Structure 1
Amino acid sequence: MSQIPPPPARPPRTEGSRIAALRERVTSLPKPYLIGGALVLGLGGVYVGSLTVGGDTVAPGTTVLGVEIGDMTPEAAEDRLAEELAARLKEPLRVRVGPADEAAAGQDQNQDQDQDQDQQEQGSGAEDAGAGVHEVDPVAAGLALDFEQTVDQAERPGPLARLFGADGGELEPVVTVDRGKATATLNTLAEESGTELVEGDIVFKDGRPEAVEPRGGTTLDVENSVDVLRGGYLVTPAGDAVELPVAEAQPRTDAAEVRRAMSEFAEPAMSGPVELTAGDTRISLSPATIGAHLSMEPDDGGALEPVLDGAGLAADEAVAAAVEEAATEPVNAVLGLDGDAVTVVEDGRPGVRVDTEGLGDAVLPLLTRGGAERTGEVATEEVEPELSADNLDELGITEKMSSFTVHFDPAPYRSTNIGRAAELINGSLVKPGEVWSFNETVGERTAENGFVEGVIILDDRYQKAQGGGVSAVATTMFNAVFFAGVKPVEYGAHSFYIERYPEGREATVAWGHLDNRWENDSGNSVYIQASATDSSVTISFLGTRKYDEVESVTGPRTKVVEPQTRVNTDEECVPQPPLEGFDVSVDRVFRNDGAEVKRETYKTHYTPRDEVVCEPEGSEEGAGRPDPAADENIAEASETAGAGGG
């Protein structure tokens, strides 16, 4: 088979030959084609050039509230608006509550009610500016111009549109609102504008009923006014006001209902006193007393119904005094001892309490009655005593826990003050976990509380003051606590030692400064027996022993300091014999079944008792020296500012 030879190779094309071929083709085109191509190339050049000039800019002639922002980038336009409109954005916005005629009528009505009051600045930042017109602070109301959204509305014409003269125009401002701030501002405005709705009512003054005539009113429609306020901001012409919508309201309780309630209830209710009986006690309630706690409240249909505040009536001074007179306090049983066994000397007695919670229910039905029928009973209930023969075992008061006696030389002030303190303490019942307080139980040592002036220790020396001598009772109480095995909470020893008391195991009290308190941690109730004679005071604890035995072990005196002698020229000086100062420790040992189960140590520091020589001006030398034998007659103290403790 014969082979077909390949075609001859083409000569290679050079750059010059390509340019020549292109020239040949162009020159062979018709002349109209050549003109059109040139025009296209020219317009393309213009387009590319306009891109470098126009870019993303706002159309020429664009304005916002009269401010020119054309041919500016959006960022520059926003800056221009913020600068040029800064003052205008803060200008008060004039608003009118309701249509002009209604607003003027409402203002006239308010002025008639308050014509004696001076015009004052409104709390919402609004102020009267013509009939029914107010001014609102737009910043306080949360109104603001959104610069970005406003500028985003502007046309940004393309190159050809710019080439053929496309322009912008006036843009509507985009306003935002903080609804919370706007609502708060409008709520305040609502309180200061419109006409107040008055419901028909009856009030009681000084035992007489007074009718309140009903009247319709208008109030600002706050919810719908928020958007109206936003819509009027920045676009309302100067001198005009944004008209805010109002809501009209009519009273639920009309005049006819007021007349009915007046004749059927209010007038009969105030026609005379109401008499109540509580046991054997009569309680009289005057119309003025009842009316002070009586009101008329509308139901869902507007009908007026009486409401009597029973709690308020019971707390009224006139009523509370009568209720207190009708009540009797329960009396706890009086206990004694037969050896170490507890006996009931006198059983407890129940008291009577008036049920004041039902006072309103007892009185209200009587108010529409007349004459003798305006009488009723108020419930009472019996109140059991805390302590009686029936609950001794339940309380755990079965035996003597401890008893302690302090002896003293007779003196009128001692007998009075010690006896009075023992009287106030006797019969105290301390439940498990409770803390007993000397100062709370005995009270302030004043003449009104039955105490007289006596000798106390103040500023490390004897002085005279009200209540002197009751430290003998405080020391007796401390030792009763000590040997009963219960827990001391607060106590303090005298600043210097008094010989008649056990050293390191004695206490004093000072009203407002130092108390004698202990906690009942025995697990059962504790009954306190306290009695006094002209020369002694005894306190016994009755309950259930937690320990078989509590022993006191006193250590030796240490850090002994000798006293000094001081001369006092005061007219009220009290001579004072000397006694050394020292430290001492006392161990409290607890035993059960003969074995020690616990030990506590009480440390006490006593300052030296300096000798005080009284030498008032003009007295003979040595006349004011204390008689050591007289120490027993004055060595009592109830209060001290410098008491030490362990």
Structure 2
Amino acid sequence: MLHTVDGETPDRPPAGRYRPRLVAGVAAGAAAAVFGLLCLVGLLAGGDDIPSGTRVLGLDIGGLSRAEAQAKLERNSDRLVPETLRIRMGDQPGELGTAAAGITVDADETAAAAAQSGSGPLTVIGRLFSGGGGDVEPVIRVDGEKGRAALTALAESYDRKVREGSVSFHGGEAAAVQPRGGRQLDVDGALAELENSAPGRGSDPLPLPVRRVEPRVGAEEVDRAMAGFAAPAMSGPVTLTVPDGGEIAIEPAAVAGHLTMEPDASEKLTPRLDGRGLLGESEVAAAVREATDEAENARLDWDGAKVTVASEGSAGREITPRALSRAVLELLPEEGADARTGRVATRVVQPELTGENAGRLGIREQMSTFTVEFPPAPYRTQNVGQAAKLIDGSVVMPGGTWSFNDTVGERTEANGFVEGIMILDGKYTRATGGGVSAVATTVFNAAFFAGVGFEEYGAHSFYIERYPEGREATVAWGSLDLKFRNDSGNAIYVRAGATEDSVTISFLGTRKYDEIESVKGPRTNVQEPGSRKGDAAACEPQTPLEGFDVAVERIFKSGGREVDRETFTTTYTPRDSVTCD
């Protein structure tokens, strides 16, 4: 029955209007059924096997079960992972050992990936009509700890510190140091690259990330510094004039060891001169002493009952390291003798010790005195006398340290010393300054009986009969010093004098102890000497003497009783008999 709307009768649909839709639906359903059937047949036909034709970097694992594929991959791991991996760090090629870097193939995951690559519907159906699973990339694993260690080792040979452009000075000559960029392997980034890349994927090296550091001072600035300062600086000596004094000539070789050029805030190479180091050069120090007047301490004496003033002190003038550096730097860029001559500033220096302040400093009595006698010889008399002259008048303030090497200086001809005989490496030999150990031994004993502390000292290697056993000292420039510390509480004035066969050292101050006593123990661990022939080129004969150990007690007394004790232990090696043919 038809319903009407507003009294009208609707048109009847024509016959056959819904038939195309029905046909399309039936066709789609049939296709889906066929597709599902084909998938089922493909899966049943293939099972869990790797699709035929599946290859991993050329290794055929098609048609195998997953377990079989895994086993085959493990057996052929060397084929899948090369022995070395080609890499590139910036523009530098290289190689990385895969075993050391912990690079391996995960056979289980690779086999699983190969099986999954054939599990898609279209691929499953394709198996029924084709024979190929295709190429599968291996799953690569990298041991993080081994990989980082291998890359760190690789970085040690690849990394290069940046070299700034600069100028060096040596031996009176200037040399340009050209800049060079720095580079550094990014170990963290390189490890990530290894973990994300499969070795053997292609013939191209694996690029590893690097960091580059460019120098701040370039070649252009080096050239400017060489032409504008460095080359003229080493062109000849500079001469400093001292007001109301002499002249100081300083050679390029002396300047070179203390001159540098360093970049300033604007990256310009700027000269810097170590004035203190330059003043320490023996030739410069001697020239400065000649051209200036040193402050003279008052000279004190001991008349047997009290300290007397033999002569008053006087002010002097000195050149400070800063003044020397400034004066020399101003002249270095100039060329020609006249242009390289200029004034240097000096300052007035008052003496440390005067007749007026000697008493206030606590210099009231003779604390100790000691004399060493020696066989007279021209070299020994000269060297002992020169050392005594340099020591005489030394003032050591409370808490201060006195140094033999600092006071006497290097034993050179320029410093007033001549060649003589000394002990070196357990035998007598000839060297400039031979014989000064007699002065060192005398100072040691004066300090010993003054009761002050020692900071550094050393005995001779073998015993010398004219010195007290276990209570003697030697010195060597640059390696062994004799130092005592003034812990007496007052200033100490050192008097030194020498004759042709003796040297005497006295300490003036205020005694901290009433008496210092020395007690020597017996010789122990006695060793007999040997005999040998001396070197043909430079032989000094030796008489034999046994080696031994000895201990000396220093006993401090106040008020008639012992208040402290200190032990000095010395080991002497045997003195071999040496004959000279």
Counterpart for residue 66 of structure 1: 58
- 8 Å CA contact 1:475, 1:505 repeated in 2: no
Paired residue type of 1:311 = L
Counterpart for residue 310 of structure 1: 272
1:83 maps onto 2:75 in alignment: yes
Larger Rg: 1
1:153 maps onto 2:119 in alignment: no
Distance between the aligned counterparts of 1:355 and 1:390, measured in 2?
30
Structure 1 residues 377 and 337, CA gap change in structure 2 (3 angstroms): same
1:235 maps onto 2:201 in alignment: yes
Deviation (angstroms), 1:387:
4.6
After the TM superposition, which residues 598-617 of structure 1 pair with which residues of structure 2 at under 5 Å, given as runs? Answer: 598=563
Deviation (angstroms), 1:86:
0.6
TM-score by length of 1: 0.47
Deviation (angstroms), 1:82:
3.6
Residue among 596, 605, 609 paired with 2:561: 596
Structure 1, unpaired ranges of 5+: 1-45, 104-121, 127-135, 192-196, 560-571, 576-582, 606-638
Structure 1 residues 348 and 148, CA gap change in structure 2 (3 angstroms): farther
Distance between the aligned counterparts of 1:587 and 1:200, measured in 2?
59
Distance between the aligned counterparts of 1:199 and 1:418, measured in 2?
51
Count of residues in correspondence between the two structures: 472
Structure 1 residues 270 and 491, CA gap change in structure 2 (3 angstroms): closer
Paired residue type of 1:546 = K
Deviation (angstroms), 1:590:
1.9
Structure 1 residues 313 and 422, CA gap change in structure 2 (3 angstroms): closer
Where 1:325 maps in the other structure, the secondary structure is: helix
Where 1:171 maps in the other structure, the secondary structure is: coil
- 8 Å CA contact 1:439, 1:515 repeated in 2: yes
Counterpart for residue 449 of structure 1: 417
- 8 Å CA contact 2:492, 2:509 repeated in 1: yes
Deviation (angstroms), 1:150:
3.1
Paired residue type of 2:515 = V
Residue among 308, 319, 327 paired with 1:353: 319
1:400 maps onto 2:363 in alignment: no
Distance between the aligned counterparts of 1:470 and 1:312, measured in 2?
32
The alignment yields a C-alpha RMSD, in angstroms, of 7.4
Distance between the aligned counterparts of 2:218 and 2:503, measured in 1?
76
Distance between the aligned counterparts of 2:371 and 2:214, measured in 1?
82
Structure 1 residues 141 and 350, CA gap change in structure 2 (3 angstroms): farther
Residue among 306, 310, 315 paired with 1:340: 306
Please, which moves more after superposition, 82-91 or 270-279? Answer: 270-279
After the TM superposition, which residues 329-478 of structure 1 pair with which residues of structure 2 at under 5 Å, given as runs? Answer: 330-331=294-295, 333=297, 334-337=299-302, 339-343=305-309, 345-347=311-313, 349-355=315-321, 359=325, 363=329, 387=353, 392=358, 395-404=361-370, 419=385, 422-432=388-398, 449-450=417-418
Distance between the aligned counterparts of 1:221 and 1:402, measured in 2?
69
- 8 Å CA contact 2:470, 2:569 repeated in 1: no
Where 1:397 maps in the other structure, the secondary structure is: coil
Counterpart for residue 550 of structure 1: 515
Paired residue type of 1:279 = V
After the TM superposition, which residues 106-125 of structure 1 pair with which residues of structure 2 at under 5 Å, given as runs? Answer: 125=94
Deviation (angstroms), 1:428:
3.6
Deviation (angstroms), 1:467:
9.8
Structure 1 residues 93 and 282, CA gap change in structure 2 (3 angstroms): same
Structure 1 residues 361 and 137, CA gap change in structure 2 (3 angstroms): farther
Distance between the aligned counterparts of 2:168 and 2:411, measured in 1?
50
Distance between the aligned counterparts of 1:416 and 1:198, measured in 2?
52
Structure 1 residues 171 and 324, CA gap change in structure 2 (3 angstroms): farther
Counterpart for residue 616 of structure 1: none
Structure 2, unpaired ranges of 5+: 1-39, 524-539, 544-549, 577-581
Counterpart for residue 173 of structure 1: 138
- 8 Å CA contact 1:209, 1:267 repeated in 2: no
After the TM superposition, which residues 275-294 of structure 1 pair with which residues of structure 2 at under 5 Å, given as runs? Answer: 277=240, 279-280=242-243, 281=247
After superposition, the C-alpha distances for 1:329-372 in whole angstroms (9 at most, x for unaligned) are 84551322353235362415445235358847984799599998
Distance between the aligned counterparts of 1:445 and 1:428, measured in 2?
18
Structure 1 residues 235 and 381, CA gap change in structure 2 (3 angstroms): farther
Where 2:363 maps in the other structure, the secondary structure is: coil
Paired residue type of 2:393 = G
Where 2:319 maps in the other structure, the secondary structure is: strand
Counterpart for residue 522 of structure 1: 488
Counterpart for residue 31 of structure 2: none
Deviation (angstroms), 1:486:
3.6
Query: Percent same amino acid among aligned pairs?
Result: 32
Paired residue type of 2:417 = N
Please, which moves more after superposition, 440-449 or 386-395? Answer: 440-449
Structure 1 residues 360 and 574, CA gap change in structure 2 (3 angstroms): closer
1:325 maps onto 2:254 in alignment: no
Paired residue type of 1:539 = I
Distance between the aligned counterparts of 2:510 and 2:363, measured in 1?
6
Distance between the aligned counterparts of 1:506 and 1:363, measured in 2?
51
Where 2:200 maps in the other structure, the secondary structure is: coil
- 8 Å CA contact 2:166, 2:269 repeated in 1: no
Distance between the aligned counterparts of 2:565 and 2:214, measured in 1?
80
Distance between the aligned counterparts of 2:374 and 2:158, measured in 1?
80
TM-score by length of 2: 0.51
